[in-house]
Amino acid sequence: MIKRIGLFLCVNFVVLITIGIVVRLLGIDQWLTQEGIDYRQLLAFSAVLGFTGSFISLLMSKTLAKMSVGAQVITEPKTEEERWLLKTVGDLADAARVKMPEVAVYSGSANAFATGAFKDDALLAVSTGLLQSMTRPQVRAVLAHEMSHVKNGDMVTMTLIQGILNTFVFFFARVVAFFLNSSKDDNNHRRRSSGIGYYFTVQIFEILFGILASIVAFAFSRHREYKADAGAAELLGGPEDMIDALKVLGVTKTEPLPSEMKAFGIVDIPSFSELFSTHPSLQNRIKVLSQSQPPLDSTKKKKTSSGGGVFGAVSSDRSTPWS
């Protein structure tokens, strides 16, 4: 908790310093001063706006996720399948050295996600569609992918990135609006307007800069997916099951998660352009996994299927868990 607060404060400090350097290099600070605007106050105001919303969303992420998809947390397993699911997530959590997350199941097409404000207080949810369409080793690979997100602190990382981008958007949208809504008086002094035209201009440029910021955020999100795939392969001892799971997702009907959660799903509906996609294409993910780690040799495969390793008993069961 203390490390997270320290990271938040450091990021805020770096953001303010970075924007301060940019406005000085571009001469924006002098122009704002001439216009009677304290750019430091504007910058602080933008940072508060930029980070507050992001962190409120993060702190409420588990509650919002449960409500939005109707996820039911497994507190006391009632079936063998639920016991298997809890056991598998528990083993993966131990391997990742994080506390056991809440485990939930929800009705929907093939997907899964992890969320939560802290590594040791996360939620990992899987859909009935995913459980019905995959074998246990494939489901385990998806769980390992989501556990890698938890281990890497991706939820907090994406929140920080979004907060940084929001700060830039809020600050520069107002700077541009100040410039476009000011005019010269008879004494050749610029006179700033703060009427409805100014506020309308702010909204327009927040949308335009927000689109540019989204491209940056989506790029970070795609990089995070590659890293989680590699983390899953590491937890599993090889990439084969993760590759198999991605292939199944490629031929399975998938519906998008709610907008606030889609970046944390195992898969998302491809956008018209990769620039606006939270996930790389499944083909690219499979290609990267295949190239980054060579397949296990036959000896290791035999050992794994016969019960060797932490997850050997699970790997040998090719049946569907929710049949």
Angle, to 10 degrees, between the axis of helix 240-250 and the axis of helix 136-152? 100
How far is it, in rounded angstroms, from Cα 322 to Cα 92? 20
Give just the sign of the alpha carbon dihedral 72, 74, 80, 86: positive
Name the packing angle between helices 196-236 and 136-152 (round to 10°).
130
Q: 101 with 122: CB under 8 angstroms?
A: yes
Tokens 């809504």 locate to 181
Beta-bridge partners for 104: 73, 125
φ, ψ for residue 63 (rounded to 5)?
A: -65, -45
Show which residues are catalytic.
146
Coil, strand or helix at 111: coil
